[in-house]
A = this chain, B = another copy of it.
Amino acid sequence: MAPIRNARVLFNSHPEGYPVPGETTVYDATPTIDVDNVPLNGGFLVKTLVVSVDPYFRGRMRKPDPKSYAAYAAGFALGEPLYGYGIAKVLRSETPDVEVGKYIYGPNIMHQEYTVYPGLGTTLRLIEKHPDLPWTAYVGAAGMPGKTAWFAWQEFSDAKAGQIAFVTTGAGPVGSMVIQLAKAAGMKVIASAGSEEKVQFMKSIGVDVPFNYKTTDTREVLAKEGPIDIFWDNVGGEILDAALEFSAVYGRFILCGSIAGYNQPHVPIKNTPLIAVRSLHLHGILVFRLEHKYDKAFYATIPEKLASGEIKYSEEVVRGLEGVGDLILRVQKGENKAKAVVVVADE
């Protein structure tokens, strides 16, 4: 077969504030690949089916800072394709444990149509699909965001029936999973998001007190509905400060992200002295640091619950890598309606 297009999305420049489609990232449809003959050198060739666009992408776009002890994974490299969680199908293989026709999942699926990997390495894995779930779910509720919620909830929530949870970005893939875990534990759930549509979705998955933080004062809600026993935070800044203010004694804070400060300066936090006064526990989490402990149980449990509808999820699907840049911006601004996923190709 003659060489075919191997389009990709390149990281082009470090953004100052919000990433700019076409400038921060560039869609490049010029490369080609001869899928039948490209040398594998002992590795395998995949066709990318799905790539995920997630809030943490912004951290990967920062300029490297040698003074920082930051434990981030490496940033995106200028002039190279973006990468993130995704699903890809194996087209050819010289690796015995990666058979043709199987599917791989991991945090380093390239934002390009075809990729040769030297091997699974420590981060890629083979994955099987539940017959009643789409592949897109495997980068959302059945993938990294769902795992983030489920792993950390098992490890740190110490959930008790009758207690109160407050969940930010409650319509997103992490928040909506946390909400359903909290409800299943018998908790009262307060949750925030940034649009009326998201408020309706949060209501549909059982949130007792859903609110739009853009039109309703968070402190007023918490003063009336708190104090908070569990705070799940994807936002940081002002909302974290408010949650500290209205925390209950022995409150557990699971700090998962701080998107309020990804594209503009962080709002400093004033209420840290309450951590001692109220004997609070704040746990920072990154999904891959809990994977060894909970991964197996997650795949044995969650896809089935998603397929049966016991746990609900929602996603916003964009088709084609050309939509990645715009979707990244919309995720950073919270304008996406649900988990942002890009379908690169059908099987």
Contacts and interface: CB of A to CB of B under 8 A. Distances in A.
Contacts of A240: 272
A277 B270 CA distance: 20
Interface stretch (A86-94, A192-200, A249-257, A324-332): A249-257
State how many copies of this chain the complex holds: 2
Contacts of A258: 272-273, 276
A286 B279 contact: yes
Contacts of A255: 272, 275-276
B69 A272 contact: no
Nearest to A289: B279
Contacts of A280: 282-284
A222 to B, nearest CB: 9
A136 interface: no
Interface string A221-259: 001001100000000100010000111111000011110
A277 B272 contact: no
Given A236-B272, A255-B272, A269-B269, A286 B277 contact: yes
A221 to B, nearest CB: 14
Contact of A72 (B247, B266, B272, B277): B277
Contacts of A279: 71, 283-286, 289
A289 B270 CA distance: 24
B274 A70 contact: yes
Nearest to A250: B289
Interface in A284-304: 284-286, 289
A185 to B, nearest CB: 21
A268 to B, nearest CB: 3
A255 B276 CA distance: 5
Contacts of A286: 276-277, 279
A64 interface: no
A282 B281 contact: yes
Nearest to A267: B268
B284 A248 contact: no
A309 B275 CA distance: 34
A261 interface: yes
Contacts of A160: none
Contacts of A130: none
Interface in A128-145: none
User: Which 9 residue pairs of A and B lie closest in terms of their CB atoms, listed nearest first?
Assistant: A268-B268, A275-B284, A282-B282, A276-B284, A258-B273, A255-B276, A269-B269, A71-B249, A280-B284
